[in-house]
Amino acid sequence: VSSRPGFEMIPAEVVKISRNKQHNYLILNKGYADGIKENSGVVARGGVIGIVDAISEHHCFAFSFQNSDVSISARIGSEGSSGLLIWDGIHNAGAILKELPLQSKYSLGDTVYTSGHSLLFPPDIPLGIAGKAKVVNGATNQVSVSLFQDFSAIRYVTVVHNDAFDEIEEFME
């Protein structure tokens, strides 16, 4: 993962990973002594891995993207509509991009990226490939996504922290 303006990036190694539950997690070998902060994103070459939730001096605990409680803001294509990307709860590389406006234009095979509409992840991180779509409750589109990241082969990751996180959070209090 290349450096991104406005984001601090710290390389880390996965020391423990849970993959066979609905609430999967990771433990990384970096903590507050290494500059890790809560509410940081975790990414790898294949996309988003998770979100840091707790930190000790030399380790941190992150919710995996393969956790039924985790969603990230994503968009289809370089200029496409944004929605929420969630793990499909079944497949290692399966996800669902939901809450897309009905008027959204996209095609089977378009790349799905982080949208940049989140404080945790910079925009334009490739996440996966758009698959079949369906209309939900006549109000929004939902698209299946085949993720680039192989969660069975995660070893090295990068923790990304938005330098403006605390300042922007003040507006939301």
Neighbours of 23 (CB within 10 A): 12
Asked if 160 and 118 touch (Cβ cutoff 8 Å), the reply is no
Say how far apart CA 22 and CA 166 lie, in whole Å. 30
The residue assigned the tokens 């003040």 is: 170
pTM: 0.90
Q: What is the pLDDT along the chain (173 residues), one digit of tens a residue?
A: 656 678 899 999 999 999 888 899 999 999 999 999 999 999 999 999 999 999 999 999 999 999 999 999 999 987 889 999 999 998 889 999 999 998 888 899 999 999 988 889 999 999 999 999 999 998 999 999 999 998 888 999 999 998 877 677 677 66
| Residue 116 one-letter amino acid | G
Beta strands 23-28 and 60-67 are: antiparallel
* Chain segment 3-32, per-residue pLDDT in tens: 667 889 999 999 999 988 889 999 999 999
Helix (H) or strand (E) holding 166: helix 165-171
Q: How far is CA 145 from the centre of its chain?
A: 13
* Chain segment 119-128, per-residue pLDDT in tens: 899 999 999 9
Say how far apart CA 113 and CA 166 lie, in whole Å. 24
The residue assigned the tokens 């209090």 is: 173
Asked if 83 and 100 touch (Cβ cutoff 8 Å), the reply is yes
Asked if 59 and 15 touch (Cβ cutoff 8 Å), the reply is yes
Asked if 12 and 28 touch (Cβ cutoff 8 Å), the reply is yes
